[in-house]
Amino acid sequence: METTIFSILDEEKAGHGAIGAVGYRLDQTGSHDSLLHDFEFLIMVVHHGLEETEQRIEHGMSGESAYQLLHVGSRDIERGILIGDQRDSVKYFLHGEIIWDIEGKLSAFRSYINEFGEPMKERRKLKEFAKFLKVYGEAKRYTAEKDLLDAYFCVLQALKHYARLELIEQGILPESSVWEQARPLNSVVYKLFDELTENSETLEQRIQLVLLACEFTLASKVADCCGLLLRILGSRKEAWSIQELAQVPDLEHVKDELPLLLRKLVTRALAQEITKAHKEGAGDSRELRYRV
């Protein structure tokens, strides 16, 4: 990078809680993505404890170079890892050049993310499995309705989540180019991707083939991928309501998918569903609760 671009913002001007800054220059041969657009440079200033209302974005010029300056929170970067969205932000944070670093805090945080340790891996695995489960179900419904183009799209998305699961199992942090990461593994999912996109059979036959493989994946991976949720369900004698589970910090990133995950665990006999009478209210309405 040109050193002139580094002088745009230093630690004294960065604001409260800043731990460092990362710079990234657009590859001139690459495409413009959701963060760089047609800017030549992206600069990310990372803060600890940055509230959503404090996040800022600036556009400017340094000499002849257009840049975009973002103030982001370390919690948002970690959340992007756990949920699997904001993949461009994560890519720039991990692969950009450190411009400045206060007391090594930015380097330490980036090392923590790069290590992709077991707690983070377990939570990301649960999220990817939930996404896989959702689009797999949608693909089955579209196939049954003979809406094959939508079914094909959903099957392709299911395979991408499957590929991310395989990467996570290998200790690899999934990035935006998931198929490039999966290809060297010579994995089952990459072969299924080839079957879906290159096979000479009809579209419906290809979709049915992949759905059958996905069904096997569900049966074989559900206990492992839902290990975090199963452990929480077994952490106390009393059964859990879904509202209580949604408030557990380790499950916050999958609270929208909890109904789907719980129903799948019950269907597979990995969790029990019990009823509890409501304290108030007329009739025989009862609350569903879950335990292992």
CATH number at 37 reads 3.30.460.10
Nearest-5° Cα angle at 39, 37 to 111: 85
| Domains contained in the chain, number | 3
Instruction: Assign residue 172 the CATH number of its domain.
Output: 1.20.120.330
pLDDT in single tens digits along all 292 residues of the chain: 454 555 566 666 667 788 999 998 876 555 555 566 678 888 899 998 887 667 788 888 887 888 888 899 999 899 889 998 877 888 889 989 998 899 999 999 999 998 888 999 999 999 999 999 999 999 999 999 999 999 999 999 999 999 999 999 999 999 878 888 988 887 889 889 988 988 889 999 999 999 999 998 888 999 999 999 999 999 999 999 999 999 999 999 999 999 999 999 999 999 999 988 766 655 667 889 999 9
Q: Are residues 91 and 123 in the same domain?
A: no
Q: Are residues 177 and 202 in the same domain?
A: yes
Q: Are residues 18 and 58 in the same domain?
A: yes
Range of the domain at 15: 3-114
Task: Single out the residue in 56, 87, 114 at which a domain terminates.
Answer: 114
Q: Are residues 258 and 277 in the same domain?
A: yes
Cα distance between residue 243 and residue 26, in whole Å: 44
Q: Are residues 104 and 175 in the same domain?
A: no
Q: Are residues 149 and 138 in the same domain?
A: yes
Query: Which is nearest to 45 in space by CA: 23, 27, 12?
Result: 23
Cα distance between residue 172 and residue 175, in whole Å: 9
Task: Single out the residue in 182, 206, 223 at which a domain terminates.
Answer: 223
Task: Single out the residue in 185, 201, 223 at which a domain terminates.
Answer: 223
> pTM of the predicted model, to two decimals?
0.85
Instruction: Assign residue 287 the CATH number of its domain.
Output: 1.10.10
Strands (E), 27-179: 41-47, 56-62, 65-73, 97-101
Q: Are residues 212 and 240 in the same domain?
A: no
Q: Are residues 120 and 198 in the same domain?
A: yes
Q: Would you give the DSSP letter of residue 240?
A: B
Cα distance between residue 16 and residue 73, in whole Å: 11
Cα distance between residue 136 and residue 260, in whole Å: 12
Q: Are residues 144 and 168 in the same domain?
A: yes
Instruction: State in Å, rounded, how far the first CA of the chain is from the last one.
Output: 54
Q: Are residues 123 and 96 in the same domain?
A: no
Q: Are residues 125 and 208 in the same domain?
A: yes
Q: Are residues 142 and 195 in the same domain?
A: yes
